[in-house]
Structure 1
């Protein structure tokens, strides 16, 4: 009797945050405590706030190219400067704790407001003065975005609402920071089907406004995309929108290799000094062919796609290819 030897799974698969716990999907707040490790059929994820993986340098280089071509992807309303510095200090310390052998944030001599940031993974050492925007390339939020793979949105709380008043977003999934900045939390989520009728967004906003300084939560969100293209912002729709149409009629093998399950791990943190809510969005992608290497994932995602209500499939941009994707996952 011979045994089948399975090839080891790639780190991209073993660390993937597969988001489905049942065979159906509906919108929900699905919020849980951050830093809670999640075991999956392939490995696990979720032990920390930030995740530095094999795509680190490549994704940060992609962000740099996007910002150079479109500086509006980094927008900060004037009153949010303290929150940007708060976010920078918080997450540089987080990075240093995560990789103490390669990263360090230390005071520069005897100056209480001067710091040195070292990141050996990128080969940089940056000196800056706390609160001085000109001491960092692109200011505190821009520099933070050059060190972490997450997109960043900062929410201000005033007048009984949350407002998306600052952000660095280069890897959006069919939305635009340029359009959304300065909008209320409820307005940002205006186009999402079902969530307002069911009160999901208003409950989420109330939850966020009750966060105490230092509290950390997370949730996942998902959609699908064609090819491993992180930048799917509204501004670049002409570049990626046509691929949804073209892939719909592709042969099965091409479909499986090009279609990606795109998952966002979103962290929600109340910053201590500024009181702003830090909203981090880390995007992961796995092709159907990669996902199929984990049989439990293959079957579950196929059933989710087959059952997904039409209005939700339309909002997520899946209508043209989701039946073909479900068929491939369930019958190939």
Structure 2
């Protein structure tokens, strides 16, 4: 099947395994260029707007309504919140000028979100010129989760964020932790020094520099919110997937890929960490034979400790079985 015959959701999916062998690493690369896959390409803009925009934001508002603590900001992150808001507004307006606009007249800014029908004037730094904190305001208008890293005392600290689509972690638990503490549970990388090296790299970013990386796991059904707080809602499906019909696995089990952007802000010196979650069911992955084979091989080769950390110890077996039964993969 050629790329031209593939559904758009497949052609632009950020398939995360471009190489013959997989090894856990930081896999960081400069942002701003399109990445080519066997099905198409993805990745020019740090903030992505696609056909799921309105649905994703409705889901974010539902989650925030049920759990307002998905937004966290320590008091000293106020300036970084404002800078993040105007930065993301500019990105949206530059990438989609037909749908978003940002104008400035002296201290007064004017923002228009044509997709949501929002029209707002504000003054940077004046809290009551917005209906809510600036990070929460802009976070409800992008599909990405947003985390802000403060740099001080020779380290990075996760001191603010709006995260409604976490993959088995909790912003409420992590806020205020150092970069090394946040990544404490990750196996293997500490012995290899990956996390300290990643922190040193990030602390060396200059204002305006942008990098990206991908991360992946598996999710049952198209569920964006798999945060620690909602484990009772989704954990059962992960445990029981293998007990259902194998034919259902292709429809229900999704390859979950995060496209993560890291951007150094100029005025506040914070690092803006954007996390966009993409979900593709195995039956769509199988439309690209090369993807099916690579995913199969990765699931087979992944060490048990990494499978446990990613939360796929119970789902990778059904995934492997489905790929072998319904695609032409070589075992």
Range moving further from structure 2, 281-290 or 115-124: 115-124
Q: Does 1:194 align with 2:191?
A: no
What's the counterpart of residue 50 of structure 1? 47
Shift in Å, 1:143 = 0.9
**Counterparts of 1:74 and 1:133, CA distance in 2:** 16
Give SS of 2:323's match: helix
What's the counterpart of residue 168 of structure 1? 162
Structure 1 residues 7, 276: closer, same or farther in 2, change over 3 A?
A: closer
From 198, 214, 224, the counterpart of 2:218 = 224
8 Å CA contact 2:13–2:42 kept in 1: the answer is yes
Shift in Å, 1:290 = 0.9
**Counterparts of 2:55 and 2:316, CA distance in 1:** 29
Shift in Å, 1:25 = 2.5
What's the counterpart of residue 65 of structure 2? 68
**Counterparts of 2:3 and 2:32, CA distance in 1:** 31
Q: Does 1:258 align with 2:252?
A: yes
Q: How many residues align?
A: 326
What's the counterpart of residue 33 of structure 1? 30
Show structure 1 runs of 4+ deviating over 4 A: 4-7
Listed as ranges, the matches of 1:1-332 within 5 Å are 8-107=5-104, 110=105, 112-332=106-326
Listed one character per residue, the Cα deviations across residues 93-129 of structure 1 (whole Å, up to 9, x for unaligned) are 010001111211012xx5x221111111112211212
**Counterparts of 1:318 and 1:147, CA distance in 2:** 31
Listed one character per residue, the Cα deviations across residues 213-271 of structure 1 (whole Å, up to 9, x for unaligned) are 01000000000010000011000001001111111122122111100100000000000
Gaps of 5+ in 2: 327-331
Structure 1 residues 180, 159: closer, same or farther in 2, change over 3 A?
A: same
Structure 1 residues 6, 87: closer, same or farther in 2, change over 3 A?
A: closer
RMSD: 1.5
TM-score, normalization by structure 2: 0.95
**Counterparts of 2:316 and 2:20, CA distance in 1:** 15
